[in-house]
Amino acid sequence: MRVLLDKRLTSLCLAGLLAWGAHLPTQAQADEARARKIVGGVCFICHGMDGNSASEVFPRLAGQHAEYIARQLAHFKSGQRKSTAMADMVAKLTPDEMLALGRFFEKQPVTPDPVKDPDLAAMGRYVYLHGNKFSGVPACASCHGPQALGTVQLPRLAGQHASYLETQLKQFHQRERTNDNAVMHAIVVKMTALEMAAVSEYLSGQ
């Protein structure tokens, strides 16, 4: 009789623990809540609450790979990537918070810009997919993929603001941005200003 009672009590306790645990937030939910709070306190000012920044000065983070975002934030914090504004923003972020922010933005839908110059975009499409055999510029798609979706190591370029992309290419060209793959320096040094603008215009509409 006592054994049966003990078993019933054990079952009741387990059921109670399971019911209680079901109401506890998962780690993913807790991370997202923390990320949303950080975005609502700081990031939204430049990047928008959903990562679709209204200004082309600031990168669109929606749909970007979480690991890539986290790595860039870490580089801003360490000074490996230079930005006075971003250095202040990330100064107190922990690695876990950086990854949580990355995962938050990665889940947000991307809203690409309408192409402003179809002719320029058409040229950019060719360079992106095929490169320029006459100058030695390789196809961007060989690293970033035919749809410009990137990887966890390489950024998604599809849907990014044209002006922002062009600025980054120029910074790679002038060695002002040195935190990422040195391959970019070898590529953009062969690109003309027209090719940079064209590729950027094409990608902004993808």
Does residue 137 sit within a domain? yes
> pTM for the complete prediction?
0.85
How far, in Å, CA of 177 to CA of 77, rounded?
A: 15
Number of domains in the chain: 2
Helices (H) and strands (E) in the chain, counts: 11, 0
How far, in Å, CA of 45 to CA of 56, rounded?
A: 13
Does residue 7 sit within a domain? no
DSSP state of 177: -
127 shares its domain with 90 = no
Among 84, 106, 128, give the residue marking a domain's end. 106
87 shares its domain with 152 = no
181 shares its domain with 129 = yes
Does residue 134 sit within a domain? yes
pLDDT of residue 17: 39
Joined tokens for residue 197: 């603008």
Joined tokens for residue 153: 């190591």
Spell out a b/e string for 61-78, using b for 16 or more CB atoms within 10 Å of the CB, else e.
Answer: bbbbbbbbbbbbbbbbbe
Its domain, for residue 96, covers 27-106
Does residue 2 sit within a domain? no
pLDDT of residue 69: 98
Count CA atoms within 13 Å of residue 190 on its CB side: 15
Q: Residue 198 is part of a domain; what is its CATH number?
A: 1.10.760.10
Amino acid at 65: H
pLDDT of residue 113: 86
Inter-axis angle of helices 95-106 and 27-38, to 10 degrees? 90
123 shares its domain with 96 = no
Kindly give the confidence (pLDDT) of every residue in the chain, 206 residues in length, as a single tens digit, with 9 standing for 90 and above: 444 434 454 454 444 434 444 455 688 888 899 999 999 999 999 999 999 999 999 999 999 999 999 999 999 999 999 998 999 999 999 999 999 999 999 999 998 889 999 999 999 999 999 999 999 999 999 999 999 999 999 999 999 999 999 999 999 999 999 888 788 999 999 999 999 999 999 999 99
49 shares its domain with 71 = yes
125 shares its domain with 199 = yes
100 shares its domain with 125 = no
pLDDT of residue 19: 46
Among 106, 130, 161, give the residue marking a domain's end. 106
